[in-house]
Structure 1
Amino acid sequence: MVDEWSGFAALLANLIEKYAVVLDLDALPDLVIEESMPEKVEADDMIHENNIESAKAA
């Protein structure tokens, strides 16, 4: 059984191998992961609070 993704994976592997030297991946800057911004989290919480309607007895 041949996996339908195996051909695509092989193509990607060949392209990466072929162009790794040209791209010079070792010269790329290090990835910087920023901490989550508390202002955005608080704003998201307030949005959800405003969308909830108060329950009223019928």
Structure 2
Amino acid sequence: MSTPVFVIATLLLIGAIVRQLIIMYTNLLSLQKDAEISRVKVKEEKEYLFIKGLY
């Protein structure tokens, strides 16, 4: 009687762990993408300030 309960609980636990890993991975990818975008923004801002200083 208790074996199916343990099997279902184990499957739910594995599913929850896999779901959390997927969420963590997507968050990590978005953070890396934000860092690259920020780097480009800083470069563009420096170039803008340089050009602005020429006038």
TM-score, normalised relative to structure 1: 0.33
TM-score, normalised relative to structure 2: 0.34
